[in-house]
Amino acid sequence: MPAYPPIAVRQPLPFDIVDVPVHVCGVGTGFEGQFSARVRDANGGELALISIHAGGMGTWGNYDETISLPATPATTRGTVEVFEFSAKGDGSELNKVTVPVSFGPALISPYHGFEQYTVVPGDTLSAIAQAKYGNASLFGRIFDANRDEISNPNLIFVGQVLRIPV
């Protein structure tokens, strides 16, 4: 039987588009069952930090928490971090899991979710933005929502399935 990591994040998955507030869940254990979750913006700024209680002393427990943010993030991308503060009290962080995310409400407001769109011959992100939003210059929304699929906004490929925030 494989060993379980001290902290596992099952939601959000890497590159998910998250709502505000941010929901995080998984399985974990920490010293006396305590660990933490943090949301950061793309500049590394801390938007929120919460404590989580699950498991403890060699017992893994499920956690499902809501992280309220003071406002819609100023950046479209960010991270969710789940970790344990060291018992040494020096502020160091152990067993950190960092999940890159996009903030739906920073992409489009109000944010309801996303549509899937399959790229066809002749498509560009600008053309897709024009068709979906009525404004070609909003292609950045689509680019930021698909950073796991697109590294250059000028290079998309026929057959790619993109998320279109709505």
Q: What is the CATH number of the domain that holds 81?
A: 2.60.40.2550
Q: Phi then psi for 100, rounded to 5 degrees? A: -70, 135
Q: Which residues pair with 59 in a beta bridge?
A: 56
CATH of residue 141's domain is: 3.10.350.10
Question: Which H helix or E strand runs over 84?
Answer: strand 77-85
Q: Nearest to residue 99, comparing CAs of 31, 6, 23?
A: 23
Contact by Cβ (8 Å): 101, 17: yes
153 and 91 housed in the same domain: no
pLDDT at 150: 95
Total of domains in the chain: 2
Q: Which residues pair with 85 in a beta bridge?
A: 93
Structure pTM? 0.91
Is residue 92 in some structural domain? yes
Tell me the one-letter amino acid at 91. G
87 and 122 housed in the same domain: no
pLDDT at 32: 75
120 and 59 housed in the same domain: no
Q: Which two tokens stand for residue 91?
A: 């502020």
100 and 151 housed in the same domain: no
Is residue 95 in some structural domain? yes
Is residue 1 in some structural domain? no
Flag whether pLDDT at 1 surpasses 80.
Answer: no
pLDDT band, very low/low/confident/very high, at 2 (cuts 50, 70, 90):
low
Task: Give the 3-state DSSP-derived string for 15-72, with helices as H, strands as E and coil as C.
Answer: CEEECCCEEEEEEECCHHHEEEEEEEECCCCEEEEEEEECCECCECEEEEEEECCCCC
136 and 158 housed in the same domain: yes
Is residue 157 in some structural domain? yes
41 and 87 housed in the same domain: yes
Last residue of a domain, one of 106, 128, 157: 106
Domain range spanning residue 159?
Answer: 112-165
pLDDT at 89: 82
Burial class (CB in 10 A: 0-12, 13-18, 19+), 121: exposed
93 and 18 housed in the same domain: yes
**pLDDT per position as a tens digit, 91-110:** 899 999 999 999 999 999 99
Q: Which residues pair with 52 in a beta bridge?
A: 35
Least confident range of 26-30, 53-57, 85-89, 138-142 = 53-57
Is residue 120 in some structural domain? yes
